[in-house]
Structure 1
């Protein structure tokens, strides 16, 4: 989880207005892909039942 937090921190310090449009588009696609993967893992863990 620390690596995920660090990656988000790195994104937070970037200024998107300074990123070239083509690179920004690639980043947006990748971020959406990674967000979907993260949401899937959240759903998996939410579905776990403790007996």
Structure 2
């Protein structure tokens, strides 16, 4: 989880106004893909019952 948090912190430091449009579009697609993967893992863990 620390790596995930560090990656998000890194994204937060970027000046998005400095990112070229094509690169920004690529990043947005990748961020949405990764967000979907993260949501799937959240859903997976939500259904787990701890004995």
User: What band does the TM-score fall into relative to the shorter chain?
Assistant: over 0.9
What aligned pairs does 1:17-36 form with structure 2 within 5 A after superposition?
Answer: 17-36=17-36
Unaligned runs of 5+ in 1: none
Deviation at 1:49, TM superposition (A): 1.3
Aligned to 2:37: 37
Partners of 1:31 and 1:41 in 2: how far apart?
15
Moved over 3 A (4+): none
Unaligned runs of 5+ in 2: none
**Partner SS for 2:36:** helix
Partners of 1:50 and 1:6 in 2: how far apart?
28
Aligned to 1:4: 4
